[in-house]
Structure 1
């Protein structure tokens, strides 16, 4: 069942939380707390059989939230013994969810503000002036940490350029140090960025032929934008909570991306090689190679946020050398036999990969060479 029929989706993040950030609620925790409410707190108020996307159920739940909050708080307040605490933890799915129940209840209380926070995030994308963005940031309840954490979490999901928002916040804080940002009330902004960076991890944990490479590339790019907004602007301490989170998230994401990077060069060679005997083009292998080149190009733009410099440099060089060899070889074969569809398709695939690895201008030169060979044959 969709937690709370989507009432607080704006602050729920996918996957499990390696770090608990102030405004973000891990989906597993939200689901556990929602199950506890449906089954043990208010079985008379909530229909457990309602569909996840049932708008009527969501609309019916909204006016019942005050009663739901009252019952939930009463149930938690009634916990007076270790055994009772363990029992309620089990009902929620574990002590991790129990620790986050206060954040969930606060999110339900502030549910009407979450849509406004998302609208704020979308509006911020159109603010190119740092002063105007700073004025907009001051409209947030910076003195109420719990509420602003939720609002920044909701807003950040809509922000395309988090670095711009961070720069405006630092200008208001007067300094980029952690202490200055905390004093100015912008700690929730940093927490929200780190929370959304962590939320990219499930999209990167995909393997096999059916992995969504577009989603993977978007997740790498989003992770980079969020991490650069923190590490590129804020002066983090050496062993602070935020610097520890940054190091751990960078390590986790790099470890997930590394196998994808390692496979690029072998996949390119396998896809573009000529088969002995009856020549053929392996469509699945070509797709894997193209996907790898897309990932490689994305990592090139985001390498500052990943701990993959040595492997990237090696792979970048190997793929470049391999593509130059395969392009020239297949172009010569195509000139000799322009009617061979397999060679033509392989050359087209090689040119597309070269466009991703090198640049569109180089690919255009190769396409013109291919067209010239076709015209000469005709």
Structure 2
């Protein structure tokens, strides 16, 4: 029996050449045949392909956003698993920057197919238009703009002036290269979708063991469509549980743990995807982000770099070694800056704030976040120190925080009972902040001891005890 995935790809290729109305007509005929009990062994296969063509699983909940955006979102749906939100240091083939899409869409609507886009937009904006009809419009639009987009790219490659003009229209050189990936993904949509269907939703290290179905499938598709292996790698990357497993995949495909042999093989793009994740996580950490996001980025970065350091020799590929070394410098500089500021932030927070009578004391939220960030980084460096050049400053900061937190917290607790009534709220605020920071630094058990001490300090003593204490 022919391979199911090959049949699906051929059927979809045929369906994409039909008009949406023709596919709908075929779909109704197939559904009628199934209802009549047809015994055609390929009926369900063809029916499923028709359904996915008319109603592709985009993963987009249209009702969650303004109708104005529906057509644009559905138009770009086939590359959803290739999009990257963060700006990578350089364009990575197969990874499309999400921020490039609005200007690319504007270029298509203005210069590539203005009439078709205008009609499709009018239909999608009507309140009576169902989501399935908008999907149909997006599918039709993709099919009709593919040839003129390919023509525009051919002109850009053939003529410097055309290249400069189109680059400016789509938002720059990187965006132009994103257009190239977009066109390739649209052109190769049939077999890419077949690949997606053949792979598990989540890929683990076990899926990349020799002889595994997923490894066999990825290798076969990559060997068959070598020119678009970056698109294949992007699809696989979107499904792996841990980006570092892309390194195991590259090694398994190349048949070697040697970085040099992997880099020289036709499967090097899978390792390069892992390197782009190293750069992406470093970029997240060094950008504007919350403490939680920073923590996750450092964890993910550390996991990939540990695999690189322990299982591979990056010196065999100097260009790859440089990419990782650049991220180490960036992240080390960030951690050093944050640790330098941490002790000062904590010391300022542990001072009882002075407030005017009748005014409620307030927490300096920004300063508290900075303090927690410093403590989090000190704790993180227990595992990440070998990957970053921050050992000395980490040890110095840990010692300073240990002294500051322990001595100052005990001092605040000792003076809490004797605090004047008008100063009690401000004093309690400083105590609670101190306990909160101690929990982050020392752990919950120590913080619970401090909370018991706080409760004891606030418990009124019996009069006799008070007199004995006074005498």
- Calculate the TM-score normalised by the size of structure 1: 0.80
Q: What residue in structure 2 maps to residue 72 of structure 1?
A: 149
Listed as ranges, the matches of 1:143-182 within 5 Å are 143=223, 144-164=225-245, 166-167=247-248, 169-170=250-251, 173-182=254-263
Listed as ranges, the matches of 1:12-91 within 5 Å are 12-47=83-118, 57=134, 60-79=137-156, 80-91=158-169
The structure whose residues are more often helix, as a share, is 2
Q: 5+ unaligned residues in a row in structure 2: which ranges? A: 1-68, 463-471
Q: What residue in structure 2 maps to residue 309 of structure 1?
A: 391
Cα gap change, 1:108 to 1:361, in 2 (>3 Å): farther
Contact 1:152 1:189 in 2 (8 A): yes
Aligned partners of 2:194 and 2:349: how far apart in 1?
47
Higher RCO (CA 8 Å, separation ≥ 6 residues): 1
Corresponding residue SS for 1:44: helix
Aligned partners of 2:305 and 2:207: how far apart in 1?
22
- For these two proteins, the number of residue pairs brought into alignment is 372
Cα gap change, 1:76 to 1:131, in 2 (>3 Å): closer
Q: What residue in structure 2 maps to residue 319 of structure 1?
A: 401
Q: What residue in structure 2 maps to residue 92 of structure 1?
A: 170
Aligned partners of 2:193 and 2:343: how far apart in 1?
45
Aligned partners of 1:225 and 1:255: how far apart in 2?
19
Aligned partners of 1:300 and 1:310: how far apart in 2?
12
Match of 1:192 among 273, 281, 290: 273
1:277 deviates by 7.6
**Range with bigger deviation, 70-79 or 3-12:** 3-12
Aligned partners of 2:445 and 2:425: how far apart in 1?
25
1:352 and 2:436 are equivalent in the alignment: yes
Cα gap change, 1:132 to 1:326, in 2 (>3 Å): farther
Contact 2:291 2:369 in 1 (8 A): no
Cα gap change, 1:213 to 1:277, in 2 (>3 Å): closer
1:242 and 2:323 are equivalent in the alignment: no
1:223 and 2:301 are equivalent in the alignment: yes
1:124 and 2:203 are equivalent in the alignment: yes
Contact 1:254 1:308 in 2 (8 A): yes
1:77 deviates by 2.3
Structure having the higher Rg: 2
Cα gap change, 1:203 to 1:169, in 2 (>3 Å): closer
Aligned partners of 2:178 and 2:408: how far apart in 1?
55
Aligned partners of 1:116 and 1:349: how far apart in 2?
53
Contact 2:250 2:268 in 1 (8 A): no
Contact 1:13 1:26 in 2 (8 A): yes
RMSD (Å) for aligned C-alpha atoms: 3.8
Q: Deviations over 1:17-42 (max 9, x none)?
A: 32222321233444444433232112
1:142 and 2:222 are equivalent in the alignment: yes
Contact 2:250 2:271 in 1 (8 A): no
Q: What residue in structure 1 maps to residue 291 of structure 2?
A: 213
Q: What residue in structure 2 maps to residue 274 of structure 1?
A: 352
1:146 deviates by 4.5
Q: Deviations over 1:138-195 (max 9, x none)?
A: 3213324454422332333443333455346535644321233246654222222222
Aligned partners of 2:174 and 2:253: how far apart in 1?
35
1:270 deviates by 0.9
Q: 5+ unaligned residues in a row in structure 1: which ranges? A: none
Contact 1:22 1:191 in 2 (8 A): no
1:344 deviates by 3.1
- Calculate the TM-score normalised by the size of structure 2: 0.66
Q: Deviations over 1:41-80 (max 9, x none)?
A: 12223259779xx966555223432322211112222454
Listed as ranges, the matches of 1:252-291 within 5 Å are 252-275=330-353, 280=361, 282-284=363-365, 285-291=367-373
1:350 deviates by 1.7
